[in-house]
A = this chain, B = another copy of it.
Amino acid sequence: MLTYNFENVDGPLYEYVYKCIKEDILEGNLSTGIKLPSKRSFAKNNGVSTITIQNAYDQLISEGYIYAIPKKGYYVADITDFKKVKRPEKASMDIKVPVREEIVFDFSSNKIEVDNFPFSIWARLMRDTISNREGELLEISPCGGVYELREAIAEHLSSFRGMSVDPNQIIVGAGTEYLYGLLIKLLGKDKIYCIENPGYKKLYAIYKSNDVCCKSAGLDEQGVVVDDLRKVKADIAHISPTHHFPTGITMPVNRRYELLAWANEKESRYIIEDDYDSEFRLNGKPIPPLQSIDACEKVIYMNTFSKSLASTIRISYMVLPRHLANRYYEQLSFYSCTVSTFEQYTLASFIKKGYFEKHINRMRLHYGRKRTQILQTIRNIFSNNECEILENDSGLHFLLQFNTKVSDEYVKEKLWEKKIKIVTVADFDTEKKKQNKHQFILNYSNMNPDELENALKYLKKII
């Protein structure tokens, strides 16, 4: 008869009984096929209630340690496979989490300033969403995103980017990185994807991690070179024609048509247009996107609210040509939308009520002033001869080209000694052809002009 010590039991009694029997089974004290005492005699023997034993037996049955034969009783199950599992001898390893570098000043940070996010409006709209839309919030969002949000985006694209888009062409997702993954599934893994060189390095990592062939094409002063696309036999050209990172090039209209003509030559060819900071053109009207002059449905337009609103709002979208939208709905609509309905409805009303436009306008003014101030700071320290500023009234970064004999690597190292981080255009060139043109990137969206002054003065000493 099983007898356990019920003194000082912590927690429910049945759990204690369950644990005791389980251990006896695992340790082999109770072997396969042995009949357990009846609930009643077990209970009596241990001075507990039958219900306690019943619950313990039920739990052991659920987990498969014992089994019941009706009208006969309870038996120990065969758990001999327990012995097949080898216990590891080594202690479990440490986890090495990537540590963020400690930085005193960062020329390359593209964070947005905290003060500029319209928290109170966002909070109010979120509250409204929660109180007025209980029903819709718990409806599962269509695969492409909540229709209301896609409608709002379509209206925004029409008035702001001159694009004529059906809301159903728009697919909303949690970040452009996620959407790239979807696109690869849509366009095919057998295609050759081509990115710009120099260009946004993460793209290469993303394509590689998706196991697709990723090549790169060079740039001239007009942007990506179409002959390079031909050389690498690209199917998909992934570009940012409005404001290339890091060079800042805006692709002129003729190159745009050349690219469209290239895409039109073969059915498999497409252009992914990453319009990531088009909202922040500081003078004149925005450059029309490639998508708006694409009559043959070869351009996939992508943009994100992470850049225009807040880096941690993970809402991006892509605009598919109609035939690709159909392919998407046919082949990939089983994927759930990755953005919560809370945020989709909140963003939809943020756009529809005009707050997004206001925010963009306010930010454009703000960045314009900031840019002027920063350019002035640079000019106060460096003469035209020492430092040329390469910029085109657009976006949140520009380039500083220094007239110096020291190498870029030396400059970077010396700055890093003071925990000042700076990167060069050459850092984004996978072929490292354009080394030592001394073009340094200045991302000013989150920059403090006073701190910049100190950093620049130190930089001046080095070069």
CB contact list, A9-55 vs B, under 8 A: 15, 18, 55
Question: Is A454 positioned at the interface, with any CB of B under 8 Å from its CB?
Answer: no
Q: Which of B87, B168, B334, B340 contacts A95 (CB 8 A)?
A: B168
* B residues in contact with A334, CB < 8 Å: 202, 205-206
Given A130-B123, A178-B174, A287-B63, does the pair A257, B84 have CB atoms closer than 8 Å?
A: yes
Set B112, B174, B333: member contacting A314, Cβ < 8 A: B174
A401 interface hit (Cβ, 8 Å)? no
Taking A64-B254, A97-B329, A336-B175 as contacts, is the C-beta distance between A264 and B85 under 8 angstroms? yes
Min CB–CB distance A146 → chain B (angstroms): 9
Q: Which of A327-380 contact B (CB under 8 A)?
A: 329-343
Cβ of A73 within 8 Å of any chain B Cβ, yes or no, is no
Output the least CB separation between A34 and chain B (Å): 15
A340 to B305, CA, bound (A): 12
Is A70's CB within 8 Å of the partner chain B?
A: no
A74-82, A270-278, A382-390, A417-425 - the one binding chain B: A74-82
B98 near A62: Cβ-Cβ < 8 Å: no
Query: A119 — which chain B residues lie within 8 A by C-beta?
Result: 130-131, 134
Tell me, in angstroms, the Cα distance from A63 to B18 when the chains sit together: 76
Cα of A84 to Cα of B312 in the assembled complex, Å: 42
A85-B261, A284-B59 given as contacts; is B329 within 8 A of A341 (CB)? no
A435 at the interface (CB under 8 A from B): no
CB distance from A12 to the nearest CB of B (A): 8
Min CB gap A394→B, angstroms: 8
Interface residues of A in 213-230 (CB under 8 A from B): 222
> Please, which residues of chain B bring their CB within 8 A of the CB of A326?
93, 95-96
Per-position binary interface string of chain A over residues 162-189, scored 1 when its CB falls under 8 Å from any chain B CB and 0 otherwise: 0000101100001101100100010001
Residue of B nearest to A138 (CB): B114
CA distance A142 to B252 in the complex (A): 38
Q: Pick the contact of A79: B206, B254, B315 (CB < 8 A).
A: B254
Whether B336 lies near A251 (C-beta < 8 A) is no
Asked whether any CB of chain B lies closer than 8 Å to the CB of A310, the reply is yes
A113 to chain B, nearest CB (A): 8
Complex: A15 Cα to B310 Cα, angstroms: 31
A210 within 8 A of B: yes
Task: Report B-chain residues with C-beta under 8 Å of the C-beta of A178.
Answer: 174, 178, 338
CB contact list, A54-105 vs B, under 8 A: 55, 58-59, 62-65, 77-82, 84-88, 92-98
Q: Which among A55, A85, A93, A392 has the greatest number of chain B C-beta atoms within 10 A?
A: A85
Interface pair B258/A81, CB less than 8 Å apart: yes
Say if the beta carbon of A8 comes within 8 Å of chain B: no
Please indicate the chain B residues that have their CB under 8 angstroms from the CB of A338 in the complex.
174-175, 177-178, 314, 338
Q: A61's closest neighbor in chain B, by CB?
A: B252
Pick from B79, B82, B127, B288: contact of A127, CB under 8 Å: B127
What per-residue 1/0 map shows which CB atoms of A242-263 lie under 8 Å from chain B? 0000000011111111101100
Instruction: Please give the distance in Å from A230's CB to the nearest CB on chain B.
Output: 14
- Tell me, in angstroms, the Cα distance from A13 to B272 when the chains sit together: 33
Listed by A's residue number, 30 A-B pairs whose Cβ atoms lie within 8 Å are A63-B288, A64-B250, A77-B253, A79-B257, A81-B258, A84-B258, A86-B264, A87-B296, A88-B296, A92-B322, A93-B322, A98-B143, A114-B135, A126-B126, A126-B127, A126-B342, A138-B310, A138-B312, A174-B338, A174-B339, A185-B210, A189-B211, A312-B340, A313-B342, A314-B338, A314-B339, A338-B338, A340-B340, A342-B343, A343-B343
Question: Which of A's residues lie within 8 Å of B, judged by CB?
Answer: 15, 18, 55, 58-59, 62-65, 77-82, 84-88, 92-98, 111-112, 114, 117, 119, 122-123, 126-127, 130-131, 134-135, 137-144, 166, 168-169, 174-175, 177-178, 181, 185, 189, 202, 205-206, 209-211, 222, 250-258, 260-261, 264, 283-285, 287-288, 295-297, 310-315, 322-323, 325-326, 329-343, 392-393
Which 10 residue pairs are nearest across A and B when measured between Cβ atoms? A64-B252, A84-B261, A174-B338, A81-B257, A81-B258, A312-B341, A174-B174, A64-B253, A79-B254, A123-B130
